[in-house]
Amino acid sequence: MPTRSSPDLIVVGAGVVGAACAYYAARSGLSVTVLDRGPVAGGTTGAGEGNLLVSDKEPGPELDLALLSTRLWQALSGALSPRIEYETKGGLVVASDETGMAALRDFADRQERAGVTTEEVTGDRLRDLEPHLAPDLAGGFHYPQDAQVQPALAAAHLLRAADEQGSGRVRLRLGEEVTGVLTGAHGEVRGVRTVGGELHAPYVVNAAGVWGGEVARLAGVDLPVLPRRGFVLVTEPLPRVVRRKVYAADYVADVASGSAALQTSAVVEGTPAGPVLIGASRERVGFDRTLSVEVLRRLAAQATRLFPVLARIRAMRTYAGFRPYLPDHLPAIGLDPRVPGLLHACGHEGAGIGLAPGTGLIVARILSGEELPLDIEPFRPERFDGV
């Protein structure tokens, strides 16, 4: 049963989304315990590139959440930067021909009406922004609101800041797997059971990323989160060969696709530390981490078509991660009416780092009874019932 030392809230997951939930909850005056069966940022967050993007999102609820989170990351950067390597470097989406440019122009026009800042760049001006781009591209669009953080550092410093502003009311328990969700006589949340024993609280937030479906099942509900594997190539450290996040127009279609098959589309970006990161691939193969030479070959070929200079650069390593995929490409955020006291904050797929602050703020506002920053109806956790 709850005691005077019991937290107000348990967050399951110490990735960047769980860290943001803890941060904003602590700022609302709540005491929080964050649990994770591994280390901080040990799952999807640690395998991410740190993208904070609006450029790849169709107008709609995810873009609304991204725009909110963009403003919140800007505010957070003042408190956490430079420790999190926050960069407002912008994004550049390019097209190889006029057909692609027409599609980008239509997409950008719809985004602008939703609040995104876009700037069309003709083919002869592309290399003013990125001097090493291939010379034969038709043009592109610059998105100055796109930014980047170092994701593991962002999660760690959000948790540290949460503890500091909560005056020690945030506890972090790592290496402690949740094995059950405790419920009362009327099905309401009473806490969780872990390998170390029971922990009581009236609210539990499922921020378990690709394991969000597993945590939901522990509470007796269904949330169809699936892992979607992706690889990233990392080059040797370089001078700033790539100034922004640069990707080809077909990346947007791949993000929106629900296909389980392998998809690759060039995404190239430099980092403050020097290495260039090259993605992105998507495929649903469960939790299989087997290295795919075919994926790496495709990524390298697509990246060098965009930036021919990379053909002479060594790839030093590669790593794989799993995006928490939900069938409609929207995260599950908010109270679960099927289990009173259970909240979800998972299923962000590849956008979790960018969407984390908005998600955390929504969770905190729900718990404090404050006005929500946007309409969360599209993110209802129970929307998949019967599907």
DSSP state of 189: E
The SS3 assignment for 178 reads strand
Q: Give the Cα separation of 307 and 305 in Å (integer).
A: 6
Per-residue pLDDT at 130: 97
Taking each helix axis as running N to C, give the angle between helix 352-368 and helix 16-27, from 0 to 180 degrees, rounded to the nearest 10: 30
Percent of the chain's residues with pLDDT above 90: 86
Query: Which class for 156: exposed (0-12), middle (13-18), buried (19 or more C-beta within 10 A)?
Result: buried
**Rg of the chain over CA atoms, in angstroms?**
21
- Long-range contacts formed by 214-218: CB under 8 A, 24+ apart: 215/12, 215/178, 215/181, 215/346, 216/336, 216/344, 216/381, 218/178, 218/179, 218/180, 218/181
Provide mean pLDDT across the span 108-117: 97
Asked whether the beta carbons of 107 and 60 are under 8 A apart, the reply is no
Residue 303: cis peptide before it, omega within 30 degrees of 0: no
Lowest mean pLDDT among 21-35, 264-278, 302-316: 264-278
Widest Cα–Cα separation across the chain: 69
| Helical spans, DSSP H, in the chain | 16-27, 61-80, 98-113, 126-129, 151-165, 212-218, 250-256, 293-306, 352-368
What residues have CB less than 8 Å from 198, skipping those under 6 apart? 182, 191, 192
Domains of the chain (ranges, CATH numbers)? 9-50+151-225+328-384 (3.50.50.60), 91-141 (no CATH), 226-325 (3.30.9.10)
What residues have CB less than 8 Å from 366, skipping those under 6 apart? 334, 335, 343, 372
CA torsion sign for 280, 351, 284, 215 is positive
Q: Give the Cα separation of 192 and 198 in Å (integer).
A: 6
Tokens of 112: 């602008």
- Whether the per-residue pLDDT at 6 is higher than 70: the answer is yes
Q: Give the Cα separation of 270 and 132 in Å (integer).
A: 12
Global confidence as pTM: 0.95
Model confidence at 39, in pLDDT bands (50, 70, 90)? very high
Tokens of 196: 């170390």
Provide mean pLDDT across the span 251-265: 67
Lowest mean pLDDT among 17-31, 49-63, 118-132, 165-179: 165-179
- Average pLDDT value over all residues in the chain: 93
- Whether the per-residue pLDDT at 254 is higher than 60: the answer is no
What residues have CB less than 8 Å from 324, skipping those under 6 apart? 44, 209, 210, 212, 225, 226, 227, 228, 346, 347, 348, 349, 352
pLDDT digits (tens, 9 = 90+) for 285-294: 999 999 899 9
Q: Give the Cα separation of 325 and 209 in Å (integer).
A: 9
pLDDT digits (tens, 9 = 90+) for 71-109: 999 999 988 867 899 999 999 999 999 999 999 999 999
Model confidence at 258, in pLDDT bands (50, 70, 90)? low
Distances (CA, A) of 285 to 150, 239, 334, 348, 361: 27, 36, 28, 18, 33
